[in-house]
DNA sequence: TTGTATGCGTTATCAT
DNA sequence: ATGATAACGCATACAA
């Protein structure tokens, strides 16, 4: 229609810098494309270039505010690079992970972001090669995959130090179960223990762990765990602060405490991890730790885009040092109450 | 490697029913494929078949529990059909919607599910054809697109009738702004008004609408709106029940009321819409309306799969009548308090 | 039951 | 600066 060849059209529409055309030709082609509502066929393009501009995101479920937040960030980052996000909910089932790995492979996706610990790292590496995969989570060298680190240990330490500085001495840590696949829960606890030990208060820490991982993956499970563990914790112990292993568990704690008519933070402090948006919406606003997830997600996406792609300067950008977790103090934590509550100690 | 032709391999690997092979040949091919870790190239396949087994989901943001729930259901439904979900967050920006429509088109996606009212229905229809699009939301014949209906009007009526049955007469309805693009808020209100009118209590309804739509799309905005509108509502009016335009707004109302030390539901009832999982986790569990979204989402996905696809029986299944909204009574609503609160009336 | 040949729409190579 | 042509990997019409 523009009276030129396929080649010319391709070169112009992809506005490549290595060739140059007279403005007149360029306009003719652009005009014709516009008139025809031309949209390049991504199948044909992918067949040649082996690139899809698609990134798969593997996570257990989107019904959990943490993963929802993460997915939101990934979506924003991929869109920024003109990429599209494929959502893959595995419910932590190996079978579902395998299903999605197959679906994504065949050079179909340019890369895969794991937001949980891979069940089948070998299969993933075999299908994509390690350089097309990024794991967002606590570093695990055994996996042999690129990793954007979350440093849960440091996060745990930050929270505990915050409470110690406020004068709390007897502290409860409540958590959903330590399972094989979520080492971050354990690492948060270890960070808390480390801080308590540094303060010489190691034996003042009370740890309560939930019983069974429940099949359902929405946040209600964690809220329930937080509620019942706090009930048990306060029945047996005189703590002045409760640390939930994440914000949802902390909300459960808050629910129970509110119901007992104890005042927060005057009589008891509560805090969590993750800085999900509810932690700054529900009242009281809760003290938590921000992972700077947005920055980290962007880094992960850049790593894949650089590797899949046009390389060069992009690749350099991917080498940045990720930032560490930061404490976000809010209304739910305050100075430890006076001796009254310390009578057992 | 199996000593047979491409054709044979293709036929066997796609296990087509219209041809039949001796078991020996079949095994040879399957064996070879397994050994080679063969994964079909989806680009090449798509180039021939014009099918991607990809469905685009267009929504404003995933940082809002309603859309998060919807996305979860869509993901489950698409996975069930061996499809993959492309997540497209538009933040209700026309520009972003256009970006995604282009990205998805070129026969790249088999269909598009709109979870919000399309900004550019014409462009969408032009790129995909109306039969490849399904809108999940209140029916809007003007769009000329297939629609899975949510019936917000009926939902509003259900809630109001529930309160009327409990003896409430003076009721507040609080809502984020009625904007051009979310007619469901207005329809919920109209349903409430209809029920009040049927009871002859039309003038006992107090409506409070938030000021400006805020740019940020996480639920915190709606919680804040609920909080401040309830404050204003209770300062000026003696209502015995508050209806939030959705569960998040209702949570905001709950937050304010809890802080005033009024008892729920003894002194005041609160309810919302959508049945997001938080409504059954946070305490008190709130009365709400369930849209039976899961069923509706499955229907929407089936409609696209049937149209894109292998047709026949699938297409028939897509004709089902969608179910209506149902009331979910929980702890936050109870009988209207005795006359004490009714002195103004 | 199985093989041969063709084409999907694009980009890349090599001409001119 | 631009055009001709091949090739990507698969599915299919047709032949055998």
Three-state secondary structure of A238-255: CCCEEEECCHHHHHHHHH
Query: What are the pLDDT digits (tens) for A247-297?
Result: 999 999 999 999 898 999 999 999 999 999 999 988 899 999 999 999 999
Whether B345 shows a pLDDT value over 50: the answer reads no
Residue A135 Cα, gap to closest chain B Cα (Å): 20
Q: How far apart are CA B181 and CA B117, in angstroms?
A: 6
Catalogue the long-range contacts made by A126-133 (C-beta closer than 8 Å, 24 or more residues apart). A126/B37, A127/A101, A127/A102, A127/B37, A127/B39, A128/A104, A131/A307, A132/A304, A132/A307, A132/A308
Strand partners, B244: B174
Q: Provide the 10 A C-beta neighbour count for residue A251.
A: 28
Between residues B168 and B313, the one the model is more confident about: B168
How does DSSP classify residue B285?
P
Distance B127 CA to D13 C1' (A): 30
**Is the confidence at residue A226, as pLDDT, over 90?**
yes
Whether residue A106 and residue B41 make contact (CB cut-off 8 A), yes or no, is yes
Distance, CA of B98 to CA of B116 (rounded, Å): 14
Residues 6 or more apart whose Cβ sits within 8 Å of residue A19: A11
Residue B319's pLDDT band (cuts 50, 70, 90)? low
pLDDT of residue B342: 46
pLDDT at A316: 46
Gap between the Cα atoms of B163 and A100, Å rounded: 46
Query: Measured between alpha carbons, how far is B28 from B24 in angstroms, rounded to an integer?
Result: 6
Lowest mean pLDDT among A222-236, B26-40, B151-165, B310-324: B310-324
Average pLDDT of the segment spanning A314-333 = 77
pLDDT of A335 = 97
Token pair of A80, please? 């920024």
| Cβ-based neighbour number of residue B254 at 10 Å | 28
Which nt has its C1' nearest the CA of B8? C2
Chain B CB contacts of A281 under 8 Å are 218-220, 223-224
User: In this complex, do A72 and B85 lie within 8 Å of one another by their Cβ atoms?
Assistant: no
DSSP A268: -
CB contact under 8 A, A106 and B63: no
Q: How confident is the model at residue A313 (pLDDT cuts 50, 70, 90)?
A: very low
Region B27-42 average pLDDT: 86
Of B47, B69, B86, the CB nearest to A86: B86
> pLDDT value at position B216?
64
pLDDT for the residue numbered B18 = 80
pLDDT band of B102, cuts 50, 70, 90: confident
What's the pLDDT band for B127 if we cut at 50, 70, 90?
Answer: confident
Per-residue pLDDT band at B107 (split at 50, 70, 90): low
Statement: residue B136 has pLDDT above 70? yes
Look up residue A10 and give its two tokens: 């391709």
Instruction: Give SS3 for A205.
Output: strand
B59: left (phi over 0), alpha (psi -120 to 50) or beta: beta
Closest protein CA to C1' of nucleotide C13, residue: A7
The yes-or-no verdict on residue B328 having pLDDT over 90 is yes
pLDDT of A219? 75
Structure confidence at residue A342 as a pLDDT band (50, 70, 90)? very low
Q: Which of residues 26-65 of B touch strand D (CB under 7 A)?
A: 38, 40-41, 44-45, 47-49
Listed residue (B132, B121, B126) closest to B56, CA to CA: B132
List the one residue out of A276, A314, A290, A297 whose CA is nearest residue A85. A297
Task: Count the helices and strands in chain B (H runs, E runs).
Answer: 12, 11
Query: Is it the case that residue A343 has pLDDT exceeding 60?
Result: no
CB A284 within 8 A of CB A320: no
Q: Is cis: bond before A265, omega within 30 of 0? A: yes
* Residue the block writes with tokens 């980052």: A77
Dist CA B290 CA B327 (whole Å): 6
Pair of tokens at residue B259: 């802080």
Q: What's the CA–C1' distance between B271 and C10, in Å?
A: 56
Q: Give the pLDDT band of residue B5 (cuts 50, 70, 90).
A: confident
Question: What's the CA gap between A234 and A240, in Å, rounded?
Answer: 10
Confidence of residue A20 (pLDDT cuts 50, 70, 90): confident
User: Does residue B108 approach strand C to less than 7 Å at its CB?
Assistant: no
pLDDT at A312 over 80: no
List, in order, residues 6 or more apart from A128 with CB less than 8 Å away.
A104, A105, A109, A111, A112
Contacts of A72 in chain B (CB under 8 A): 61-63, 89
Q: How far apart are CA B179 and CA B160, in angstroms?
A: 23
Does residue B50 register a pLDDT over 70?
Answer: yes
| Cα–Cα distance, B59 to B115 (Å, whole number) | 5
Q: Tell me which of A220 and A332 has the higher pLDDT.
A: A332
> Å from B302 (CA) to D15 (C1')?
39
Neighbour count for residue B323 (Cβ, 10 Å): 13
pTM: 0.91
Contacts of A40 in chain B (CB under 8 A): 106
The dihedrals phi and psi of B87, each to the nearest 5 degrees, come to -90, 130
Residue A8 pLDDT exceeds 70: yes
Helix (H) / strand (E) element for B189: namely: helix B183-198
Q: Which of B42, B71, B257 to mutate to test the interface with A (most CBs of A within 10 A)?
A: B42
- Written as six digits, the tokens of A174 are 């409540």
SS3 B231: helix
CB B218 within 8 A of CB B64: yes
Q: Which chain A positions have a beta carbon within 8 Å of B80's beta carbon?
A: none
Is pLDDT larger for residue B219 or for residue A254?
A254
Q: What is the pLDDT of residues B55-100, one digit of tens each?
A: 999 999 998 899 999 999 999 999 998 888 999 999 989 999 998 9
Q: pLDDT: is A106 or A333 the higher one?
A: A333
**A103-112, A146-155, B241-250, B282-291, range with the lowest pLDDT:** A103-112
């Amino acid at each position: 229609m523009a009276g030129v060849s396929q080649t010319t059209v391709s070169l112009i529409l992809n506005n490549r810098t290595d060739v140059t055309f007279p403005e007149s030709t360029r306009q003719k082609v652009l005009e014709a494309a516009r008139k025809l509502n031309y949209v390049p066929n991504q199948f044909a393009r992918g067949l040649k270039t082996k690139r899809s501009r698609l990134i798969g995101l593997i996570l257990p479920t989107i019904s959990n505010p943490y993963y929802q937040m993460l997915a939101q960030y990934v979506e924003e980052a991929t869109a920024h690079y003109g990429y599209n996000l494929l959502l893959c909910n595995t419910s932590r089932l190996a079978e579902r992970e395998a299903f999605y790995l197959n679906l994504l492979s065949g050079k179909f996706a340019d890369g895969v972001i794991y937001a949980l610990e891979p069940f089948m790292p070998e299969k993933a590496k075999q299908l994509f090669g390690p350089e097309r995969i990024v794991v967002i989570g606590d570093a695990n060298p055994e996996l042999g995959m690129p990793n954007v680190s979350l440093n849960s240990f440091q996060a745990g330490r930050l929270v505990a130090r915050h409470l110690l500085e406020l004068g709390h001495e007897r502290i409860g840590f409540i958590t959903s179960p330590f399972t094989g696949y979520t080492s971050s829960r354990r690492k948060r606890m270890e960070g808390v223990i480390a801080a308590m030990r540094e303060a010489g208060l190691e034996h003042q820490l009370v740890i309560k762990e939930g019983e069974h991982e429940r099949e359902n993956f929405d946040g209600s499970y964690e809220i329930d765990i937080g509620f019942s563990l706090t009930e048990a914790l306060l029945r047996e112990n005189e703590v002045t602060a409760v640390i939930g292993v994440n914000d949802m568990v902390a909300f459960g704690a808050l629910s129970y405490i509110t119901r007992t008519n104890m005042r927060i933070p005057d009589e008891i402090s509560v805090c969590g991890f993750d800085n999900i948006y509810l932690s700054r919406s529900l009242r009281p606003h809760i003290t938590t730790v921000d992972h700077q997830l947005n920055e980290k997600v962007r880094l992960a996406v850049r790593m894949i885009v650089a590797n899949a792609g046009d390389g060069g300067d992009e690749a350099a950008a991917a080498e940045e040092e990720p930032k560490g977790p930061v404490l976000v103090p809010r209304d739910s934590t305050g100075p430890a109450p006076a001796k009254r509550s310390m009578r057992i100690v």
